[in-house]
Structure 1
């Protein structure tokens, strides 16, 4: 891409690519081939139409001199225009038979300066200079025609004198010729600049989206770490209290000391398991949280989430299946957050009227399921949205699984399975 400035009017078009340079060579070769064919056909008419003219070999050389510079027109647009303009005038002065090839070469060179010249001031004045040069040549040619003896145009029936009409035709044709070449060249430049703007904006948008996604993931991981910090701190506190009790009771009451040490062991295992899951998911260094600790929500606070959803107009049903039992606080916290995010999506995106929240106590897992009767995919953010990322990471901390997707009939379902380790557990 070109060099970008705050002001896009100062944008500079990049140099031509190798593919563009190869196309320029092909254009030059094609123009020369067509020019040679036209020269042969025109010269076949003979003096009947053109009178005296240079030899065919010389005309071939002039055609080659006009077309060859086009092979580097995008690399050196101004230089090519100057060369083609001079050769054009000399070739016309020599009265070569074909006027189409010189006209095409001059038009393409003139257009290329407007479309490719990086310095717009140079592009403008170079084209103005060529227009002045061609206007001078046209004036000289018309004066020569006027000074020549006039033939008797007996069949002329128009309102203008034939010589006046000839002058007007030449002026109109040249004005239209250079106006179109100027206009098309400027349009090509503006089109390339708009394309560069769009690509630049798309690249900035992509980087912004990547930064936002990364920031959201980091923020979610910080929230996970903050929540689990309370759980781990609680376990460590319990271990300290129980270890102190065991030390004091070791000589007087060995059985009490044994029970305290068993509690320390179980609490340590739970804390280590949660720390292992946390360190496996979080790979970035997390800053210390300076906020005041807040009570850790759990399954007991689900009723508050249900009340909030009902206040938003959703008919929410709640069911508990299996034998309720205490689960680790980290598991209870993650279950709470999954329900919270799922109900938030129901309220914000699903357009649902009803939702169903189910908590299942299985033999070795706690299962949370939230369903609704909304729009399914149409009511959810795009795949990989921040809400799903947060739920998946929370569940992954505990080695669980998360399923989220549209239901077969209607609506959406979020189901999380959180393993619950065997043995005594802390109350949630």
Structure 2
């Protein structure tokens, strides 16, 4: 249970009273006037303000110093009530700037030395002066270090909160891109097939049934991917839950091209090199880039044909999607409010790859992605737009 500051201050004040009751009777034994009723009364006045040190540290410090000066000038033993002024100095050093706390430390040392000058034994003055300076400097230093530690902890918490806010923003962006990748491609295929089914519904029942079958399969796959992503988002860090369905990868690019081909766009899929296991994140990156590129073909170049090529190299893979559509449609290069092309570049950058996106010199459009499959490999090329 954490105590409130005022409760702590009251407990410290009671501790000072107990110390006064233990040490006060020893004053005469060390050569000071015996504490009488007046002395105990002034001592309690020295202690009383410290109960409010957390609320007004500087004011309480100055009031305590003033009453302690009266106590010392009255000829009473300063040590019996020195704990309160030192607590006040520590509190000021903890909450105020260095210049203010330095003045308070100097005042306390001066009062301490004043008490030594009132002693009958002048030979003890150098020792008392050394103690006054040394002890008060130590108290001041402890308060200063505690303040610096508190400020550092506060800055650290603020930085952690800022990093957490950035992480939330980045995660929202990642989710938005993932939703775009999952939904946009499948909805484009469904839209094309629905239009085809409607157009041939009365004249070509077989084609309409095929189109409806494609719509059914595509929508089922879209729902499975969305459920998988939602399971990932809902999974807790410590529950060990993992999605049932595997992340889409290179092996499913063929299925994707079949769907696009069923949507009316001729697509050729070629693989060169020897297929081999690749990190799931790299496979997902390549799959999503191909998905986005084919979605753009469906949206903007339906009359074109497309080619998807996957090349397995020694330390990296290359994936390209090209089409022979005529002209350059501005929306394919810059889509306001969209996440497609931005998502491609960010995915490639995340996995240390490079990507080029833009029109081809011979006509049409091309997306070329290079991703390293080895930590030692640095794939050629830069992240550019042709």
Length-normalised TM-score, structure 1? 0.49
Which range moved further: 177-186 or 271-280? 271-280
Alpha-carbon distance change, 141 to 264 in structure 1, aligned in 2, over 3 angstroms: closer
- Counterpart CA distance in 2 for 1:133 and 1:270 is 84
Alpha-carbon distance change, 193 to 30 in structure 1, aligned in 2, over 3 angstroms: same
**2:254 match:** 298
Q: 1:32 aligns with which of 14, 17, 22?
A: 17
1:181 aligns with 2:166: no
Partner of 1:173: helix, strand, or coil?
helix
Q: Is the 8 A contact 1:110 1:127 kept in 2?
A: no
User: What stretches of structure 2 of length at least 5 have no aligned partner?
Assistant: 231-251, 258-267, 280-290, 295-311, 317-349, 352-386
Shift in Å, 1:228: 1.1
Q: Is the 8 A contact 1:110 1:182 kept in 2?
A: yes
Shift in Å, 1:108: 1.0
**2:82 match:** 103
User: What stretches of structure 1 of length at least 5 have no aligned partner?
Assistant: 1-16, 149-161, 248-256, 284-295, 314-329, 334-343, 349-385, 388-428
Shift in Å, 1:189: 0.5
Alpha-carbon distance change, 136 to 101 in structure 1, aligned in 2, over 3 angstroms: closer
Shift in Å, 1:96: 2.7
1:23 aligns with 2:20: no
Alpha-carbon distance change, 198 to 262 in structure 1, aligned in 2, over 3 angstroms: closer
Q: Is the 8 A contact 2:85 2:108 kept in 1?
A: no
Q: 2:54 aligns with which of 58, 71, 74?
A: 74
Q: 1:113 aligns with which of 92, 96, 101?
A: 92
Alpha-carbon distance change, 306 to 37 in structure 1, aligned in 2, over 3 angstroms: farther
- Counterpart CA distance in 1 for 2:221 and 2:112 is 89
1:26-425 to structure 2, matched below 5 A, reads 26-39=11-24, 41-42=25-26, 50=31, 52-53=33-34, 55=36, 57-97=37-77, 99-117=78-96, 120=97, 124-125=99-100, 127-128=102-103, 131-132=106-107, 134-135=109-110, 138=113, 142=117, 163=122, 165-243=123-201, 246-247=202-203, 257-259=204-206, 262-263=209-210, 266=213, 269-270=216-217, 297-299=253-255, 304=271, 307=274, 309=276
**1:412 match:** none
- Counterpart CA distance in 2 for 1:269 and 1:209 is 37
Count of residues in Structure 1 that have an aligned counterpart in Structure 2: 253
The structure having more radius of gyration, on CA atoms, is 1
Q: Is the 8 A contact 2:95 2:147 kept in 1?
A: yes
- Counterpart CA distance in 2 for 1:137 and 1:267 is 93
The superposition leaves residues 365-393 of structure 1 with CA deviations (integer Å, 9 ceiling, x where unpaired) of xxxxxxxxxxxxxxxxxxxxx99xxxxxx
Q: Is the 8 A contact 2:46 2:84 kept in 1?
A: yes
Shift in Å, 1:100: 3.0
Q: Is the 8 A contact 2:109 2:136 kept in 1?
A: no
Shift in Å, 1:81: 0.9
The superposition leaves residues 330-376 of structure 1 with CA deviations (integer Å, 9 ceiling, x where unpaired) of 9xx9xxxxxxxxxx9xx99xxxxxxxxxxxxxxxxxxxxxxxxxxxx
- Counterpart CA distance in 1 for 2:32 and 2:222 is 100
Q: Is the 8 A contact 1:116 1:189 kept in 2?
A: yes
- Counterpart CA distance in 2 for 1:233 and 1:170 is 92
**2:237 match:** none
Length-normalised TM-score, structure 2? 0.54
Alpha-carbon distance change, 305 to 189 in structure 1, aligned in 2, over 3 angstroms: farther
